[in-house]
Amino acid sequence: MRAPLRAWSRVAQTVVLSLSIVSPWGALARAEFIKRVPLATAPSFVGYVPDQLVVVFTPDARRRLVVDARSGRPVVNLPSVQGALDAVGALELTREFAQAAGSRFPDLTGHYEVRIPLGADLDAAIATLERDPNVDHVEKIGIHTLDATPNDTYYRYGTSTFPYDQWHYWDSNGIDADLAWNIETGSPNVVVAILDSGVKYAHSDLGTLANPPSPTNPSTDGNIWVNAGEIPGNGIDDDGDGYVDDVIGWDFVTAAGGGGVTCLDVDCAGADNDPNDGTGHGTHVAGTVAAITNNARAVAGCNLMCLRIGYYAKYQGVNTGIVQMDWAAQAMNYVADQKAAGVNVAAINCSWGSSNSGGISAAATNLLAHDVMIVNSAGNSNSTVPPYLPTVPGVMSVAATDSFGAKASFSNHGSWVTISAPGVDVMSTYHDPTDPDPTHMYVGVLSGTSMSSPHCCGVAALLESYNPSLTRTDKFNLMVSTAVVPPGFPSDMGAGIVNAYQALLAAPAPVAVGDAAPQAARLALRARPNPSRGRTDFAVDGPAGATALVDIVDMGGRRVRQLALAVGGNARWDGTDAAGRRVPIGLYLAIARCGRASVTTKLAVLP
């Protein structure tokens, strides 16, 4: 399979459009077109859905309530509830969550969405409904923006001459993903759910170019989760989860726009089984998770569950991404059901603002009870006021740092922040919502706490892959306890910067029943700078006092140079072969060996 693109430079001031993506593993681009696309930010909180509410019935009422919508308006068997619905002019009453009664998890069967006439007074409608003794409480449905792009965004196709620089994975203030890959590269049995604007599942670095998955094609060639219990295109809910033909996830967006928001998306109405991306945000987030759990070694990383809860829109004159809390809550419930059905979901990524509305509180509590991590971006307002989700016990809130290890200027901060992760000039897969050609494959540079959160999801997936017995609390604590604290790091940015390598080092090794065979010593290999322009320093971590050999091998398998160094020490390679000749530019493998242990990393050599 083709691995996610990881090594591209940050871009400044331009957008480059091309006819084919370029990476060291792909073909060269044949054409480029340059333009600038300035973007601005919108407030995190937009408002409330103007014609919908979530009604939560009491435990007794939810057991007795029967809804009949055949008459064109909601008809129920409880007279006082019917009177309240009639009083607010209810047009629809539908279950918010698909959950069977009698579940051992938190009960969500009493949550219903009621649609009322547009222009009605929401507060008055809430007061009327809550006067009924069968109603526990009523919630508005919050509308929020995605936590990305605090300034101009620039994206481009790659070219063979485009310099590499994904600092957030390997640089001194990144997450040390390159070292973590020496221990664990991820497992296709581990899933991270992306609750976002959708995911471009046909992106060549996510779903593969030759055979991408789709709602009608259950291809498992890439990093996209495929629902093994669903038969594509038969119009039947084969696995009984309440969703028909949900082969690669679900689109929960029912009716986009309203509340001062204008939908610009190609898909503005109708929940369905196509969770394709309309903004690029979800594709970028997904690419970060995929890259952390798949380091381009032709091995499968974790799978991405694509759940669309947002859309491309204009608000207050700004093009942005919009999400609703009821859609987010329903997506959380979908993940919980999949986890209960045996899908190993380690975490969900929530790179958007939140409010205690739309059933999100109950859905989050239910998902945490299913042992799934909830990872949420802290927000981009440079504020100390938390969104709702970070206040929920057990939710990991992630602030943003830059390449210097400092607080990103836009990042929210406060005692409620759990941890930080890179969030400035983050390179990942992308989708351009203004480009009508779906065959164009983009990578993009974005900034925001939206970009920080998926780094933590990727580390959670690595931990789950390394030791599947770890609980969500175990993974949470490992990430927090091993976070790296740079000099002068602010105390209100959480425990420090998440570090994939240190978290894996601290994780208990998985124990195979009946397997008492001695294990090879664990090695870690670091190559910096990487990419290299003539000088590379290698460092090997492993058994104290041992000596390691590092072979530099070209992509044809030929060894061009061998270095010897003490474990814990350093050795410098000057970019030449054994005869003293400069090696050609391109990709090489650096293979370190010490006793029975070995470890490999990729090295790019530039002019």
The answer to whether 450 is a known catalytic residue is: yes
Tally of CA atoms within 13 A in the half-sphere of 326 that contains its CB:
28
Beta bridge partners of 303: 191
> Do residues 397 and 434 touch, judged by C-beta distance below 8 A?
no
φ and ψ at 375, to 5 degrees? -115, 125
> Do residues 363 and 96 touch, judged by C-beta distance below 8 A?
no
Phi/psi region, residue 580 (left: phi>0; alpha: psi -120 to 50; beta: rest), is left
b vs e for 47-70, b when ≥16 Cβ sit within 10 Å of the residue's Cβ?
bbbbbbbbbbbbeebbeebebeee
CA distance 461 to 345: 9
Provide the Cα torsion 219, 220, 226, 230; round to 10°. 50
The answer to whether 196 is a known catalytic residue is: yes
Per-state percent for the chain, helix, strand, coil, to nearest 5: 20, 30, 55
- Closest by CA to 390, choosing from 370, 371, 418, 369, is 418
Number of neighbouring beta carbons within 10 Å of residue 79: 9
Tokens of 486: 């740079």
CA distance 342 to 386: 33
Q: Is the peptide bond before 529 cis (omega within 30 degrees of 0)?
A: yes
> Do residues 1 and 301 touch, judged by C-beta distance below 8 A?
no
Beta bridge partners of 314: 262, 319
The answer to whether 370 is a known catalytic residue is: no
Residue-by-residue DSSP string for 233-262 = TSSS-TT-SS-TT-SSEEE---B--BTTEE
Q: In the sheet that 524-528 helps form, which strands lie side by side, from edge to edge?
A: 524-528, 536-541, 570-573
Catalytic residue, chosen from 18, 187, 377, 450, is 450
Catalytic residue, chosen from 196, 274, 277, 402, is 196
Catalytic residue, chosen from 111, 144, 168, 281, is 281
In the three-class reduction of DSSP (H, G, I as helix; E, B as strand; rest coil), residue 327 is classed as helix
**Which helix (DSSP H) or strand (DSSP E) does residue 337 occupy?**
helix 325-340
CA distance 323 to 349: 13
Task: Please give the distance of CA 264 from its chain centroid, rounded to a whole number.
Answer: 23
- Closest by CA to 411, choosing from 492, 323, 328, 325, is 492
Number of neighbouring beta carbons within 10 Å of residue 185: 22
Provide the Cα torsion 379, 273, 248, 180; round to 10°. 0
Which residue numbers are catalytic?
196, 281, 450
